[in-house]
């Protein structure tokens, strides 16, 4: 760990409007009750901490406890002033251009959510439509939603810590997508989030596409554990994991899932739960699970778990393609054409999937406390799409206990999360999680994994 102790001043870059004096004053106040500055500081540190070798958010914050970032108001606008930032963000004493753009994206989003969303009564976050409108406005403010464009944004999900063979495979798939003029959206971090962007950048360059889009969607709780990679040229900070997940399915046109861990399983269950809603039966949403031959067992375990918990109907919403990047690109491209035709027939926007019905159970922020986790009813007695919502919450809690600062602290103070559920589901979940541990998918390689959960059969 090395730091750049010099005070560095940065001028605005990227898609950010000017800030008012009031907004600047809010960011300069270090009120614990308000929390705005600390959110801004943590997200900014994550952006600067490029190529981090740890996925422990608390460890990152400890290592850079003396990191400072200040918003400096000037007559001609604002500047950012940073001190004791990670040296990895600098090249010959200057912060990389891509990282500068991402820093101002952080400033734009945390300020916008605080001043235009949180305090605005027009957004009723107790309703499904209200939450969807929050997601729309955040994405629109970030200029991610571009009218008059064909459906070509492919979301790529996968783990931040994957084997080299898996990374190379994800990169090759991205390359095939780039050759077909498709853009990439990921969770913005390393591993399976960085690789397809890197591959697509090469494909775009060969096709002389100068405006390739590499969209990264994240949220304050996970960003420190999955620092954005500098390839991302459109970074958006959503307020919480649920709005982040909704942003993926509203802005994206198809999804490819690469090998990952509990976070990837959470994403799969979120999407399947939405697609299983009877209201969405006719809505096309191409979904492909893919990886190299070495990940065949991983996807078999995922497939088996889905079959047991959500049933054969859920399996019909995705295909599994092993070790064939070209086929993946062909199939996702064909799927995007069906999306285009459907939205045209139903007068739905290409740039935002308004017609998709997302149940409020998938939108309400879930606080992964011990009480909330223990109260989850994991049973097949409830409607399938609602079971998917609760299973998604289980995986969200494990992610929090593994890598999020607040989650790690809760585990240290109160012990592992207690997850109760139907015996068959708990047995299958135990096998799936055990497989993740054996394959080093719970933490970055080289670290011994201590489970942050216990499974209890009912």
Is 302 part of any domain? yes
Q: DSSP secondary-structure letter at 378? A: B
Say if residues 458 and 446 touch (Cβ distance below 8 Å).
no
Say if residues 305 and 264 touch (Cβ distance below 8 Å).
no
- Residue 5: pLDDT above 90? no
Question: Which three-class secondary structure string do you get for 315-335?
Answer: HCCCEEEECCHHHHHHHHHHH
- Residue 421: pLDDT above 90? yes
Averaged pLDDT for residues 262-285: 94
User: Residue 444's pLDDT band (boundaries 50, 70, 90)?
Assistant: low
Please tell me the predicted confidence (pLDDT) of residue 240.
95
Is 255 part of any domain? yes
Which one of 194-203, 226-235, 370-379 scores highest in mean pLDDT? 194-203
pLDDT tens for each residue of 34-78: 678 889 999 999 999 987 777 777 888 888 899 999 888 776 668
Question: Which three-class secondary structure string do you get for 240-252?
Answer: CHHHHHHHHHHHC
Please tell me the predicted confidence (pLDDT) of residue 20.
67
Does one domain contain both 248 and 282?
Answer: yes
Number of domains in the chain: 3
Please tell me the predicted confidence (pLDDT) of residue 9.
86
Please tell me the predicted confidence (pLDDT) of residue 224.
80
Could you list the beta-strand ranges (E) of 222-309.
234-237, 254-257, 287-291
Averaged pLDDT for residues 202-223: 95
Which of 345, 372, 391 is the last residue in one of the domains?
Answer: 345
- Residue 14: pLDDT above 80? no
User: Residue 1's pLDDT band (boundaries 50, 70, 90)?
Assistant: low
Does one domain contain both 397 and 327?
Answer: no
The domain spanning residue 86 has which CATH number?
Answer: 3.30.1850.10
Does one domain contain both 295 and 425?
Answer: no
Please state, as a whole number, how many other Cβ atoms lie within 10 Å of the Cβ of residue 268: 25
pLDDT tens for each residue of 95-126: 999 999 999 999 999 989 988 888 888 888 89
- Measured distance CA(395)–CA(368) in Å, rounded: 10
Is 133 part of any domain? no
- Residue 440: pLDDT above 80? yes
Which of 365, 352, 284 minimizes the C-alpha distance to 135? 352
Q: What is the mean pLDDT of the chain?
A: 91
Which of 313, 345, 377 is the last residue in one of the domains?
Answer: 345
Does one domain contain both 397 and 422?
Answer: yes
Tokens encoding 29: 């106040």
Averaged pLDDT for residues 298-315: 95
Please tell me the predicted confidence (pLDDT) of residue 291.
98
Which of 340, 341, 293, 284 minimizes the C-alpha distance to 317? 284
Does one domain contain both 31 and 173?
Answer: no
Is 11 part of any domain? yes
Please tell me the predicted confidence (pLDDT) of residue 406.
87
Is 122 part of any domain? no
Which of 116, 135, 155 is the last residue in one of the domains?
Answer: 116
Does one domain contain both 112 and 205?
Answer: no
Tokens encoding 303: 């497939």
Does one domain contain both 193 and 267?
Answer: yes
Tokens encoding 333: 């491209």
Lowest mean pLDDT among 201-205, 291-295, 364-368, 443-447: 443-447
Does one domain contain both 337 and 372?
Answer: no
Lowest mean pLDDT among 108-117, 318-327, 437-446: 437-446
Does one domain contain both 388 and 303?
Answer: no
- Residue 345: pLDDT above 60? yes
Averaged pLDDT for residues 141-165: 94
Does one domain contain both 49 and 166?
Answer: no
Please tell me the predicted confidence (pLDDT) of residue 167.
97
DSSP, collapsed to helix, strand or coil, labels residue 73 as: strand
Is 126 part of any domain? no
Angle at Cα 262 formed by Cα 259 and Cα 264, nearest 5°? 45
Which one of 12-26, 152-166, 398-412 scores highest in mean pLDDT? 152-166
Q: State the virtual CA torsion across 125, 127, 129, 132 in degrees, nearest 10.
A: 40
- Quote the distance between the C-alpha of residue 357 and its chain's center: 20
Does one domain contain both 228 and 85?
Answer: no
Range of the domain at 321: 146-345
Is 124 part of any domain? no
The domain spanning residue 317 has which CATH number?
Answer: 3.40.50.450
- Measured distance CA(353)–CA(350) in Å, rounded: 7
Averaged pLDDT for residues 7-30: 70
Is 112 part of any domain? yes
Please tell me the predicted confidence (pLDDT) of residue 120.
83
Does one domain contain both 329 and 216?
Answer: yes
């Amino acid at each position: 760990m090395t730091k750049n102790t010099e005070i560095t001043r940065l001028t605005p870059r990227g898609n950010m409007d000017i800030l008012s004096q009031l907004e600047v004053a809010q960011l300069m106040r270090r009120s614990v009750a308000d929390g705005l500055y600390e959110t801004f500081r943590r997200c900014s540190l994550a952006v600067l901490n490029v190529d981090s070798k740890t996925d422990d958010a608390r460890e990152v914050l400890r290592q850079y406890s003396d990191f400072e970032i200040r918003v400096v108001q000037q007559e001609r606008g604002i500047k950012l002033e940073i001190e004791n930032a990670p040296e990895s963000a600098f090249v010959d004493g200057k912060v990389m251009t891509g990282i500068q753009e991402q820093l101002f994206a952080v400033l734009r989003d945390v300020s916008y959510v605080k001043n235009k969303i949180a305090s605005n009564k027009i957004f009723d976050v107790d309703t499904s439509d209200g939450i969807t409108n929050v997601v729309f406005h955040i994405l629109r403010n970030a200029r991610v939603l571009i009218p008059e464009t064909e459906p070509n944004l492919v979301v790529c999900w996968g783990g931040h810590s994957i084997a080299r063979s898996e990374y190379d495979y994800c990169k090759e798939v991205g390359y095939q997508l780039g050759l077909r003029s498709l853009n990439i959206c990921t969770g913005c971090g390393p591993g399976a989030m960085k690789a397809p962007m890197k591959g697509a950048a090469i494909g775009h360059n060969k096709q002389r596409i100068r405006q390739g889009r590499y969209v990264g969607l994240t949220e304050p709780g996970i960003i420190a554990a999955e620092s954005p990679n500098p390839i991302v040229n459109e970074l958006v900070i959503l307020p919480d994991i649920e709005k982040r997940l909704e942003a993926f399915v509203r802005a994206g046109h198809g999804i490819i899932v690469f090998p990952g861990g509990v976070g990837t399983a959470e994403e799969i269950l979120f999407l399947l739960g939405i697609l299983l809603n009877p209201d969405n039966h006719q809505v096309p949403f191409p979904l492909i699970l893919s990886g190299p031959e070495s990940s065949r067992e991983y996807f078999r375990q995922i497939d088996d778990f889905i079959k047991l918990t959500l049933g054969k109907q859920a399996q019909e919403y995705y295909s599994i393609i092993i070790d064939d990047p070209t086929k993946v690109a062909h199939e996702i491209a064909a799927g995007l054409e069906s999306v285009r035709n459907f939205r045209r027939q139903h007068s739905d926007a290409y740039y935002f999937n308004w017609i998709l019905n997302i149940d409020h159970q998938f939108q309400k922020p879930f606080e992964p406390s011990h009480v909330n986790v223990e109260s989850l009813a994991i049973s097949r007695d409830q409607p399938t799409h609602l079971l998917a919502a609760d299973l998604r919450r289980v995986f969200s809690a494990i992610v929090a206990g593994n890598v999020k600062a607040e989650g790690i602290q809760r585990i240290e103070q109160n012990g592992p999360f207690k997850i109760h559920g139907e015996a068959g589901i708990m047995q299958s979940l135990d096998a799936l999680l055990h497989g993740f541990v054996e394959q080093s998918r719970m933490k970055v390689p080289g670290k011994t994994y201590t489970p942050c959960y216990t499974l209890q059969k009912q």
